[in-house]
A = this chain, B = another copy of it.
Amino acid sequence: MKKINIHIADDHKIMIDGIKAVLKTDSSIQVVGESLNGIQVIDWYKTNTSDVLILDINMPELDGLDVLRGLKGKKRSPKIIVLSSYDDIKLIREVLKMGASGFLAKNCAGESIIEAIKTVFSGEQYFSESVKKRIYSDFTGQPSGVDVVPEGTFYNELTNRETDVLRLIANEMSSKAIALALSISVNTVETHRKNLIKKLNVKNVVGLALYAVKHNIV
């Protein structure tokens, strides 16, 4: 029988090794690739492919959202299971919209990752327990489907790119360093920075950093 091929992306090597060890217990699954940041993932899928991608959201360079964007629409693109420390409802909605098939909060059990892989491989969606609860309570709590948070205090207010830049700023990186990391011009980074300061109505980088902390963008 053909095995299910997996690629794992997480910035913590020890996490990757842990997941690999868990997956080794199931003979129908094999890990064929791994990445420590978003750039590596995108690169890998240029010349390789897998059935399923386990994708951490918080990664340096390019994060999970960037990767989703990068892989979206590509032919022979893998089913994607998003891994995240935070099971924010807006984040969940966002990644599903961007083509993810599953969402695992990191507080889920190890075996559930095997379950998740098999489920999304078969074409269905998979959510870990706490994520399911979030979705249900969001559903019952806001029956109209109208956003309670009008101006998307988290994922709507800022564009994806702005969030990228903000995260790196909150990582103590200078504009120059950010430009290098994202492979864009310093001018562009500064533009994003200016827009962020204006949008979030803060005075300087410190305000940006505080916002980032408050909204778990760090």
Contact = CB atoms under 8 A, between A and B. Distances in A.
A8 to B, nearest CB: 11
A146 interface: no
A204 B15 contact: no
Interface in A46-93: 83, 85
A120 B11 CA distance: 26
Instruction: Report, as a range, how many residues of chain A touch the other chain.
Output: 35 or more
Nearest to A214: B213
Given A205-B206, A205-B209, A209-B209, 7 more contacts: A13-B108, A14-B18, A17-B110, A21-B110, A170-B206, A206-B208, A210-B213
Nearest to A106: B12
A111 B192 CA distance: 41
A24 interface: yes
A187 interface: no
A25 interface: yes
A207 B12 CA distance: 22
